[in-house]
């Protein structure tokens, strides 16, 4: 059986001692194995990155950017192959995988702008014959730890910008769907990146803890669940590393009585069930203001969901595919069961979906709609990460906003309304990092930055965009004076000023 290994110093490597099964979630079958990096193997990747750093740091930004331009071309040329890899190991339908890859490529395009982004600042004559300027210098070896749900896109949030800023990189992707991530890294080397600048180690907690505790690693980026994000952030910070750790979410959509209900239903159908709900920006809670709005929404959403198609990744007519593992399928079903036990009403039940012949053993959950959910229920408080949409009823917009602001997560939210004043008040006062107005998935484009508030983000800087430049560089300010010949001043004992 094929084993997915690592990429260290330009060479493919494998750990023979520890491996883990990789499943095709559409069929439930084991299709390959992935090597789990030991502490020694991970340290070798760090050493390779450290050795490559001095030369790469001194490479002009324009030359770094040219490699990224070539990398972008290679990804576009191999897009179908990459999307097939994603589908086989993640279960994502081809059209969804292509969307993921395209958003990743957008971040490479922004990274190609590095010569401009790294120009720094200059001020002449800040004092008599004194000039001052700032430079943005790389940190050194940096690491990324990424989740299973976007094996192409999320790593591309991290290492293109880190690398064009002059850093070297060690990536620890998810061991559940490793093939596309490793292949994309190999394409970066094919684009001309020197060996050792980009390294990939597949693994589990042993690899993660090695990255977090090794003093040669200067910064760590993470995307995953909140408990792990908190562990990553606290451990990295305790070891003196710069860290950004993006955690979980419970994204709410407020449905106002004046909303265009057909538009809201169409928008939330895709936002709740797309990618099987396995994305941190999935809209998982609809907060309907008033019973009339709630009843109308439920009726229209139930009708819309009749046409939802769940099935294998290889059938592009499907709307979404399986969840990642049987364990996760059982966990999502447990949340659905608990909602019923705690007093909610299951309107559309996806626990036993019909799928195509030959895929009966896959990890499938159909679109599920649950009404009369209340704060305090397990399904409301915790992130489900599956194709489940909860409906909560609120008496007023103020009550709906308070509900959102009280939740521990603050990743994304939106409001559906025709009232500009209500929309403005909502965006000004909601305690959430990414806000949509009649937009269900307010994911920032590549030249903005992505990140939530509260327990959805640990660290001060968001992912990709302008914040990525700040995260992967350190500012150095230089003040210079060349006195005119023959002019000498005596010692000054007061604090200098202009």
Q: How far is CA 29 from CA 147, 203, 233, 326, 363, in A?
A: 21, 21, 35, 11, 10
Determine the Cα–Cα distance for residues 371 and 345; give it in Å rounded to an integer: 5
Question: What are residue 329's phi and psi, to 5 degrees?
Answer: -60, -45
Catalytic residue, chosen from 112, 280, 288, 379, is 280
Of 220, 176, 223, 166, nearest to 202 (Cα)? 176
Of 99, 118, 89, nearest to 23 (Cα)? 89
Of 443, 481, 402, 489, nearest to 127 (Cα)? 481
Sheet holding 473-481, edge to edge: 121-127, 130-138, 473-481
Name the residue with tokens 């500009």. Answer: 420
Residues in CB range of 107: below 8 A, 6 or more apart: 153, 156, 157, 160, 161, 446, 464
Determine the Cα–Cα distance for residues 328 and 28; give it in Å rounded to an integer: 12
Determine the Cα–Cα distance for residues 88 and 66; give it in Å rounded to an integer: 32
As beta bridge partners, residue 123 has 132
CB 189 within 8 Å of CB 195: yes
Determine the Cα–Cα distance for residues 116 and 134; give it in Å rounded to an integer: 14
CB 387 within 8 Å of CB 368: yes
In terms of C-beta density within 10 A (0-12 exposed, 13-18 middle, 19 or more buried), how is residue 307 classed?
A: exposed
| 195 DSSP assignment | T
Provide DSSP, 228-260. Answer: HHHHHHHHHHHTT-EEEEE----EEEEE-TTS-
CB 138 within 8 Å of CB 473: yes
Chain centroid to Cα 103, Å, comes to: 11
Buried b (16+ CB within 10 A) or exposed e, 166-202: bbbbbbbbbbbbbbbbbbbbebbbebebeebbbbbbb
Catalytic residue status for 280 = yes
* Residues with catalytic function: 280
């Amino acid at each position: 059986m094929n084993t997915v290994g690592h990429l260290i110093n330009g060479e493919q490597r494998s750990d023979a001692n520890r491996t883990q099964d990789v499943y095709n979630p559409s069929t439930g079958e084991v299709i390959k194995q992935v090597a789990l990096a030991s502490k020694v193997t991970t340290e070798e990747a760090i050493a390779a990155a450290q050795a490559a750093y001095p030369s790469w740091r001194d490479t002009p930004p324009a030359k770094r950017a040219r490699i990224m331009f070539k990398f972008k071309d290679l990804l576009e040329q191999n897009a179908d192959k990459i999307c097939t890899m994603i589908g086989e190991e993640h279960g994502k339908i081809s059209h969804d995988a292509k969307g993921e890859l395209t958003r990743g490529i957008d971040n490479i395009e922004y990274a190609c702008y590095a010569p401009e982004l790294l120009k720094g600042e200059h001020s002449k004559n800040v004092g008599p014959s004194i000039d001052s300027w700032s430079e943005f210098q790389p940190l050194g070896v940096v690491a990324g730890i990424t989740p299973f749900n976007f094996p192409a896109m999320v790593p591309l949030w991290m290492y293109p910008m880190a690398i064009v800023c002059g850093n070297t990189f060690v990536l620890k992707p998810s061991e559940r769907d490793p093939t596309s991530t490793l292949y994309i890294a190999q394409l970066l080397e094919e684009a001309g990146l020197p060996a050792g600048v980009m390294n990939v180690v597949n693994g589990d907690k042993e690899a993660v803890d090695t990255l977090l505790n090794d003093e040669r690693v200067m910064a760590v980026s993470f995307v995953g669940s909140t408990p792990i994000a908190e562990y990553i952030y606290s451990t990295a910070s305790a070891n003196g590393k710069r860290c950004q750790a993006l955690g979980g979410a419970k994204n709410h959509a407020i449905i106002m009585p004046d909303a265009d209900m057909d538009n809201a239903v169409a928008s939330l159908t895709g936002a709740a069930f797309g990618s099987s709900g396995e994305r941190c920006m999935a809209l998982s809670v609809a907060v309907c203001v008033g019973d009339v709005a709630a009843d109308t929404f439920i009726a229209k959403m139930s009708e819309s969901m009749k046409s939802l198609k769940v099935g294998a990744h290889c059938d592009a007519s499907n709307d979404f595919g399986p969840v990642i593992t049987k364990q996760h399928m059982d966990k999502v079903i447990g949340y659905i069961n608990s909602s019923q036990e705690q007093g909610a009403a299951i309107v559309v039940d996806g626990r036993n979906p019909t799928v195509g012949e030959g895929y009966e053993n896959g990890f499938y959950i159909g679109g599920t709609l649950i009404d009369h959910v209340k704060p305090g229920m397990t399904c409301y408080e915790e992130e489900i990460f599956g194709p489940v949409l909860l409906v909560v009823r609120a008496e007023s917009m103020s009550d709906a906003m308070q509900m959102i602001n009280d939740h521990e997560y603050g990743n994304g939210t939106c409001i559906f309304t025709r009232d500009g004043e209500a929309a403005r008040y909502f965006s000004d006062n909601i305690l959430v990092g990414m806000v949509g107005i009649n937009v269900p998935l307010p994911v920032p484009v590549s030249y903005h930055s992505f990140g939530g508030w509260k327990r959805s983000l640990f660290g001060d800087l968001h992912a990709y965009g302008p914040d990525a430049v700040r995260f992967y560089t350190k500012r150095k300010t230089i003040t210079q004076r060349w006195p005119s010949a023959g002019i000498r001043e005596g010692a000054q004992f007061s604090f200098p000023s202009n």
